[in-house]
Structure 1
Amino acid sequence: MTQSVVVQVGQCGNQVGCRFWDLALREHASVNKKGIYDDALSSFFRNVDTRAVGHKVYGSTYREEIVENLRKAAEHCDCLQCFFVIHSMGGGTGSGLGTFVLNVLEDEFPEVCRIVTSVYPSAEDDVITSPYNSVLAMRELTEHAHCVLPIENQSLVDIINKIKHMSHSGKLGAEIKQSSTIISGQGGVKGQEKPFDAMNNIVANMLLNLTSSARFEGSLNMDLNEITMNLVPFPKLHYLVSSLTPLYTLADVNVPTRRLDQMFSDAFSKDHQLIHADPKHNLYLACALIVRGDVQVSDLRRNIERLKPSLPFVSWNQEGWKTGLCSVPPVGHSHSLLALANNTCVKPTFIELKDRFMKLYKKKAHLHHYLHVDGMEQSCFTEAVSSLSSLIEEYNQVDATKGLLMTDAQRLSIAV
């Protein structure tokens, strides 16, 4: 049995991790009626309590303790497949210690895949130094992660507001249930509602779909390390756009089950993305579809062929699709779909982040808070923004091939 370790760092990472744990328990309880802690459940969840903040100071101070906790968690795995790191980019603990743990994982377990879920701050973030934290963290993610799933706070807010609006307008057929995990923490095993639970539930549901093949059987199971193998053709271009459908389940809202083909169309709609981006007007390097429930391989193939003409892929990877089928659907639903797209549309997010960074850095605003820390020098900031600029330029180079792709299409039409 393949297994993975979830590493939660910082307030955001721990809150998302707790929601992931709660909803996973609900999911496994719906399948395992005997309530036994079975193999499917034990493939995850050994929480690492780092009890530290910051990359330079506390990371170094508690390195041995962090390594020991990670090794203990890894020793409980029969076949360690990957590490999940869940953290935020804007805060000090998530960005600093989170990326420090990522470096430790590379040093101690170099052969094990490192998948990171990173929550990016909105432009109205209440942490004034979040552009510094985020750009410093971006360098570490680019250099040391195998795969990053960027999540934008504002996208989560928009999704929640949209669901509430649809509910109040009657478009969902009924009001959202009081026990819904989509709007409160009451849908989990226990505990009172906490701030951001509604947003964290969206991320947790994405992770449930992502890990479904590792927890349940299926006719076409996808190993987690296959995501990196199939979706990352260039090492640094490993930032994937995630979209989820449905965004809620029948356990949360009383709605008719949507048609299967509509589910595939929704997965490529901007309304279902966990990051503000426009994939259809940019280039796909590769795409993965992770499907759960009563879905056949023929359904997958039919919908891929139906959608392909509208999705601009790079010319050298027109067949860059990876698919997975898990037989167990989400609680209260017949099927679900998580789409992961390696697409150049993430570039505007990075450009905006760089612009916000430069507005502060040009004035050297708040820089003294960092420079008084041992090991933090101004070169750390220049190197970090240089790394981000290089990443943006790599995406520019891929985007530049879009014209070549159009020329090939025009040549084909002339030949025909």
Structure 2
Amino acid sequence: MNYRKKWNETKKSSRRSKPKKLFGDDHSIFVKKAVPVSIQEYKPKHLFTDFGLHKSLLNCIYDHGFTQPSPIQDKTIPHILKGEDIIGLANTGTGKTAAFLLPLIHKAIRNIRTKKNFSTLIVAPTRELAIQINDELQKLTTPSMRIFSTTCVGGSSMKRQIVRLEKYPNHFVIGTPGRLVDLVHKKKLKLSEAKHVVLDEVDRMLDMGFIDDITFLIDQLATQRQSLFFSATMDKKLEPISDSFLKNPVKVVIKSNSASDNVDQSVVKIFGTNTKIRALQDLLEDDRFKKVLIFTATKIQTDRLKQDLCDKGYNAECIHSDKDLRERRQALESFKKDQCRILVATDVAARGLDVDDISHVINYDLPNNYDDYIHRIGRTGRAGKTGIALTFIQIGILPKSDNDLTHTNYL
């Protein structure tokens, strides 16, 4: 395929450019004062009633307290209802999920009444995000609508997923690339039947190495379909995918503050490896560390740190890709509901993590690159609040006494 050639050319070009590695003695990159930008009230061009959405769907919208469309909803819903392809560039937390779910639910309800087949495929980079999308779908529908969904992700029973796929005709299939590819190979999922296809957080999917899976899935799709493409950014590495996936798309860009604007960033200087956990304990003794997300470099380190914290009396959970779906959901729910104060995670496991009230992000281990750093600290400082991010820096010289253990003042 032509887009595979374009993707390979893009990869070669990106290799020539110098990556933004976080090495060296200059740690100023991790130190920055939050500069929150005042949020200006958005005046939408439309009300939800202006879109012509089904009455039962409107009732669900208002029952959940939504009073007016967000910018991404205001600008994309009319085009999706018309059947146009979309490039939507917006960050997490902008109402992006509802922007594509609302018009697709409306179309599903309408097609039930006309007894037409309807199938929607939504592809997300992680299990957690796929589950969140399905949860949002359940929130916006009622049993009387007779709209069904199957979440096709790894870490849960493929057999159960196949049973649901075969049972329900009016269907939303929400999945991760790897599991969807497996189902296609087993001939349990016919992507050519999908009338509407959503690729969500495409930039993250490519960062996580799903290019081959995505191109395979695109190959299986019918020519006549509506395609919706959502990403936080749009650069050259995404062009081969968007060019092959979309036809004359409408581009909607929602400008928002940088993920780091609402985050106070500081470093914690660590002298030697044995003092690292002690420095973390010192921080966690402060009552201001109410809900803490800690990033580690490896799955093994995630398990070890979580266990160390539990052994020292802290209420902690952890998530990484080796945890099964049930364990990850339980850990996330416990964190969201304040049943545990600390969540230890790897970068991949935290993709799509949507928790508004995280007080602190701690980079216990350095991320691989600056983009991952920004993604990590963007988990705090949300919903108009100021968050705090602390990055542990190994100095490598053991202090003469415990009193020599220092860190920058945190806020």
Between Structure 1 and Structure 2, whose CA radius of gyration is higher?
A: 2
**Smaller-chain TM-score bracket:** under 0.3
- TM-score of the aligned structures, taking structure 1 as reference length: 0.26
The structure with more helix, counted as a fraction of residues: 1
Larger RCO, structures 1/2 (Cα 8 Å, 6+ apart): 2
